[in-house]
Structure 1
Amino acid sequence: MQQARQALGQRLRDIRVEAGLSARTLGRLMGRHPSKVSRIEHGVTPPSAADIRAWCGHCGATDQVDDMVASLRAVEGMYVELRRLTRTGMRHHQKSRVPLYERTRLFRIYEPGAIPGLFQTPNYARTLLGRIMAFNGIPDDREEAVAARMDRQRVVHSGEHRFAVILEEWALRCRIGSAEMMAGQLGHLINVASFPSVSLGIIPANIDRTMWSSPGFWIFDEDRVEIETPSAELTITQPREIAVYARTFAELSSMAVYGAAARSLITAAINDLGADEDG
C-alpha cells in the first residue's frame, strides 16, 4: 500500500514539474501549506479527491483528474488484512463474495499452486480452509465456510458466466491432504473442464517459459483484479494496472495446453498419486 501511495505521489509530482510550478507556489495556489505538497509527493500523506482536483486544476491537467481520483480510490481500498476479513471465521467472507461473482460475466483466473475455489470439491475445500484457519489463528467455522464456498459455485452451473482458468502443473501435484482426496479433486477438475463455459489451460512444468510464474490473481471482467497474499487481500481497480494483469494473463495463457493435452497432465497427476500410495 505504501508503494502504491508513493507511486501516486510521484505522478502528482510529475504533473507539478511539467507545469513549471514549485511546491511552494502550488501550495499557495491550492491554499495548502507547502509541506503538505511535499508530504503528498513523497507518499507520507495521502491526498484527498479535493486535493487532486485542485492540484490538477492549477497545473493545467484537468484531463487527468478522473484517472488520478481512480488511482486514489484504488490505493484506499486495495489492501485489507486477512485478520480483518476473518475476525469471526471464514463463512462471512465466503458469502460476501457472492454479489461480485454473480455480476461478473468473464472470470480470468490464474493459480500457481492450488485449485481455484470455484472448482474445489467439498473435501479439498475443507482441508485447505482448515489449514488456512490453523495457520492464521482464525476461528474454526470450516463446515459453514465450506458450505458457503460450495454455494458460490452455482455461478459455474447457471447464468451467463465464462471462466478462463490457467493453472501451473504444480497446482495439480501440490498435495494438501490424502491421495484419495486429491484424486477426487483432480477427477472433478476434469469434469468441470468439460463444461462449455469453462476454458482450462495448464502450463507444463517443463515448458520453456516466456512469462515467469506469478502470485495467483483473479480478473473480474474489466473492473478489478484480486490477489490473496498470506496476510491480506489486494484489490486493484486502476484501469492501467488491470491492463497489465490482462496482458500477463494472456501471456500465461499462451504457454498453456488445453483439451486432451491438459487432461493428460491431470490424469498423469492422478496416476502418480496412486504410485505414491503403492510406494
Structure 2
Amino acid sequence: MSTDFQRARQALGSRLRELRTEGSLTGRELAIRCGWPHSKISKLENGRQTATTEDLALWAEACGSPQTAEELHRRLSGLETHVQSRRRQLAGGHSALQEQSVLEYRETTTIRAYEATVIPGLFQTPDYARCLLVQNAELHQTPKDTEAAVRARMRRQEALYEPGKRYRVILWEGALHALSCPAEVLGGQLDRLAGIIGLDTVELGIIPLGAAMSITPKHGFWIFDEALVRVETMSTELRIDEPADVALYGRAWDRLHAAALHGPEAHRLLARVRHSLLAA
C-alpha cells in the first residue's frame, strides 16, 4: 500500500475520531448506534480499514453531525483517486472499465509501459482479450459482459493509429509463452505483435529470457505523459502522480528499455517463439 494513501486514510480516521469525541460518544456507544462490531470503529479511526460512503454517512448521522457527511465523502474521494479497489471498479462488469480506459488513452500523447506476464490490452486480438476477460470475471466473480468488454478494448486500440501518439511498450519474453488461452489463439496474438512493430506510433521492445538486466521490477506499470503512473495488482489499481515517484518509474523503464530487443531483433524473437509454439 502506498505511503501517501495510508497517510490519507489515517488523516480520515483522525477526522472520524474527532467527530466521535465532539459527539461525546465512546467507541462502543458509536458501534452500537451504527450496528457495527466495536473493532470496526478502532480500525476506521486508526487507518487500518477504508470506509465506504455508506460508512461515512452513518458515522456522521450517529455522531449528530449529518452536515459533515459531504466533507467526509470529499476526503474519501481524494483518497480513492490514488488507490481504487478492483472489486468496486468491476462491480458493473468489465465493459465500463474498458470504456473509461478508451477516454484516458485518447487524452494521452505518450505512454511508456512495461508488462511481464500478459500482452497489453492495447495490442490484444479479440480472441486473446476474450480469454483473459472471461478468466478475470470468474476470478473476481463479476458480471460476464465479455463481448461488450472486448468491443470496448478494440475501440481503445484505435488510438494506435492517431497521428502524434507514441506508445513505447516493453514486454518480458515470458509473456509471449504464457498459455492463458488456446495455442492457436496465442499464435494469432504473436502474429498481431509482429505486425504492430511496423506502426509509426509504436515502439515495441522485448526483453529475452536470460538477458542481462540492471533492475528486477516486481510488477508491470504504465506511465501516462510523464505525469501519472498506473499499477494494477490482483485487487487494486494504484494511480501515482507524485513527481518523484513518477520519475522513479521512468528510470526503471529506461533500464528495462536498455535490456530489450527492438526492430528486426524483436521480430526474430517473435518468430522463434511462434515456431516453438507450432512445434509443441
Asked if Structure 1 and Structure 2 have the same fold, meaning a TM-score greater than 0.5 normalized by the shorter chain, the answer is yes
> Which residue in the other structure is 2:3 paired with?
3
Structure 1 distance, partners of 2:233, 2:227, is 20
The separation in 2 between residues aligned to 1:90 and 1:167, in whole angstroms, is 24
**Corresponding residue number in structure 2 for 1:162:** 166
Aligned to 1:269: 273
Instruction: State the aligned residue count.
Output: 220
Unaligned runs of 5+ in 2: 10-45, 51-75
Pairwise CA distance, 1:99: 2.1
- Asked if the contact 1:224/1:237 (under 8 Å) is kept, the reply is yes
Tell whether 2:87 aligns with 1:83: yes
Q: 1:89 to 1:7 in 2, by over 3 A?
A: closer
Give the structure 1 partner of residue 133 of structure 2: 129
Q: How does 1:240-279 map to 2 (within 5 A)?
A: 240-276=244-280
Shift of 1:131: 0.5
> Given that residues 93 and 145 in structure 2 are in contact (C-alpha distance below 8 angstroms), is that contact kept between their aligned partners in structure 1?
yes
CA displacement at 1:44 relative to structure 2: 7.7
Answer yes or no: is the 8 Å Cα contact 2:116–2:175 preserved in 1.
yes
Which amino acid in structure 1 is aligned with residue 4 of structure 2?
A
Q: Deviations over 1:220-264 (max 9, x none)?
A: 002200011111111011111100001110111011111111111
1:180 equivalent in alignment to 2:174: no
| % same residue | 37
Q: Which amino acid aligns with 2:278?
A: G
The answer on whether the counterparts of 1:112 and 1:214 sit within 8 Å (CA) in structure 2 is no
1:223 aligns with 227
Q: 1:100 aligns with which of 101, 104, 120?
A: 104
**Cα shift readout 1:195-218 (whole Å, capped 9, x = no counterpart):** 011111111111122111331111
CA deviations on 1:126-171 (whole Å, 9 max, x unpaired) are 0011101111101100000000000111000123210101000101
Unaligned segments of structure 1, at least 5 residues: 10-41, 47-71
TM-score by length of 1: 0.74
SS where residue 222 of structure 2 aligns?
strand
Amino acid of the residue matched to residue 253 of structure 2? F
Residue of structure 1 in register with 2:41 after alignment: none
Distance 1:154 1:43, change over 3 A: same
Q: Partner of 1:37 in structure 2?
A: none
**Which piece of structure 1 moves more, 239-248 or 213-222?**
213-222
Q: Deviations over 1:62-105 (max 9, x none)?
A: xxxxxxxxxx9985521111111111110001001222111111
Q: 1:163 to 1:139 in 2, by over 3 A?
A: same
Q: Give the residue type in structure 2 aligned to 1:3.
A: T
Match of 1:237 in 2: 241
Considering only aligned residues, what root-mean-square deviation do their CA atoms show, in Å?
2.4
Corresponding letter in the other structure for 1:263: H
Alignment equivalent of 2:144, drawn from 132, 140, 144: 140
Sort the Cα spacing of 1:249 and 1:171 in 2 relative to 1 into closer, same or farther, 3 A.
same
TM-score (norm 2): 0.73
Q: Distance in 2 between matches of 1:156 and 1:259?
A: 17
Matched, 1:207 2:206: no
CA distance in 1, matches of 2:259, 2:222: 18
The answer for the alignment partner of 1:195 in structure 2 is: 199
SS at match of 1:163: strand
For residues 171-191 of structure 1, what are the alpha-carbon distances to aligned partners after superposition, in whole Å with 9 as ceiling and x for unaligned? 111111111110000000010
Contact 2:223 2:250 in 1 (8 A): yes
Offset of residue 5 of structure 1 = 4.4
The residue type equivalent to 1:4 in the other structure is: D
> Quick one: distance in 2 between partners of 1:129 and 1:121?
12
Contact 2:111 2:167 in 1 (8 A): yes
Q: Are 2:103 and 1:118 equivalent residues in the alignment? A: no
